[in-house]
Amino acid sequence: MAKAIVTKAHGGWGTPLEIEAEGKKKKVVCMTGIGIHPIAVKIAEIIGGEAVDGFRKPVPDAETACVIVNCGGSLRLGMFPKKNIKTINLNPIGPSGPFAAFVKEGLYVSGSGPDNVTEG
């Protein structure tokens, strides 16, 4: 199966993330409050997964390939990295907030959009 490579955008933070569908982990979960973002659709297409609005349809961690957030620097930014789930933040924010210690390179990238996703 193909993998998606997600890089930070100008002003963003983090090293590229490699996203793959592994076992049950085939869902690209959008936790933005604005439905399914185009970056989630693009990642899902590349990995052969499914883009899901996580606010409307909660997805178990065991089925999550990665999460898309639009956090300005508080809870969602670090909540998923704490659970070792690869996280893409639409906002160009580095480690901050109560879970900043869990926001690590290789697990989190920010400022990303559809143009920052390639097939690897």
Residues 6 or more apart from 45 whose CB is under 8 A from it? none
Candidates 69, 72, 67, 116; CA nearest to 93 is 72
Tell me the sheet residues that pair with 68.
30, 88
Residue of 29, 51, 66, 71 marked active site: 71
H helices of 2-119, in order, are 38-47, 75-82
How far, in Å, CA of 113 to CA of 85, rounded? 18
30 flagged as catalytic: no
By CB atoms closer than 10 A (0-12, 13-18, 19+), residue 59 is buried
Please list the active-site residues.
Answer: 71
